[in-house]
Amino acid sequence: IVLARIFVAGLGCVAITWGLATLPIFWRQASMEYVARKIIRGEPYKIDVLMRQMPVMEAVENSTNCRPIAFWSVAIVRLRMVEEAGRNNTGKPGDAQQIKLLDNWIRRSLSCSPAEPFLWLALYWAERAQNGFKLEHYKYLKMSYQLGPNEGWIVLKRNSIALADSDRLPADLAADAINEFVALLKDGLYQQAVENFSRSEWWVQDTILPYLAPLPQRIRETFAKAVYDQGLDVTIPGVKTPNSKPPWR
């Protein structure tokens, strides 16, 4: 009985020691996850604020354990760091070394959590930024659509990327991008839809327009007002165009 009590007490001490040693790690990782989730909600972060997460990210990256949430959080933060670097560098997507690090980390994260649709989207973006448009990379975008067809925040991120590339995409992926755009309107996400539409080339816009015809009149009219307010010279199916439109196109 005495030996059993000593054994149990020893286990308790080990558990307490382990908890004291690992609690700060989990606390820091929880802080990084909090930042990542705020990023995907669209909250802005400057580079200097994101850089404060570097010690935590490096600790996760140096770990040999597979921790899907921690890996996912690192990918989110690293991607935002690359995007912010691009905004500070005349719109370019960040320097080659940063993107390469991001690419390597995404691949490692996918080896830990291969069913994460955002990571496949991020891999497609990173490969495109590094190597341009190559047919073998479209499979990454396809995996994102297959694994997360309706996940709201991924849709918001993915649709702008996919529409920008739609004239280069295989027919099935181009259709996915257009159907996803229509879904944004159905869900009332007009601001994002208008931004994606206005950033698209005119031939992409012309491809999208016939897909709007089946939408309810209210949706088409709301979307039309928004695009006309931006001065876009397009004809929304079933909606009267303004009397005065810009002379371009």
Please name which of 98, 124, 93 lies closest in space to residue 110, comparing C-alpha atoms.
124
pTM for this model (two decimals): 0.78
Give CA torsion, residues 119, 134, 183, 190, to 10 deg.
90
The sign of the torsion formed by the CA atoms of 104, 142, 93, 116 equals negative
Residue 134 CA from chain centroid, whole number: 20
Helix axes of 96-112 and 68-87: crossing angle, nearest 10 degrees: 160
For residue 112, report the phi and psi dihedrals to the nearest 5 degrees.
Answer: -90, -35
| Structural contact between residues 121 and 153, judged by C-beta atoms closer than 8 angstroms | no
Q: How far apart are CA 14 and CA 24, in angstroms?
A: 17
Q: What percent of the chain has pLDDT over 90?
A: 41
Q: How far apart are CA 234 and CA 197, in angstroms?
A: 11
Considering the chain, what is the average pLDDT of its residues? Answer: 81
What's the mean pLDDT in 199-216? 94
DSSP 210: G
Interacting residues of 237 by C-beta distance below 8 A, sequence separation 6+: 209, 210, 212, 213, 220
Distance in angstroms between the alpha carbons of the first and the last residue of the chain: 90
Tens digit of each residue's pLDDT (9 = 90 or more) over 60-115: 878 778 888 888 888 888 888 888 877 766 545 557 888 888 898 899 889 888 99
Neighbours of 107 (CB within 10 A): 12
In this prediction, residue 32 carries a pLDDT of 77
Interacting residues of 182 by C-beta distance below 8 A, sequence separation 6+: 211, 212, 215
Q: How far apart are CA 2 and CA 7, in angstroms?
A: 9
pLDDT(21) > 60: no
| Structural contact between residues 50 and 84, judged by C-beta atoms closer than 8 angstroms | yes
| Structural contact between residues 34 and 72, judged by C-beta atoms closer than 8 angstroms | no
56-60, 113-117, 152-156, 215-219, range with the lowest pLDDT = 56-60
Interacting residues of 47 by C-beta distance below 8 A, sequence separation 6+: 81, 84, 85, 88
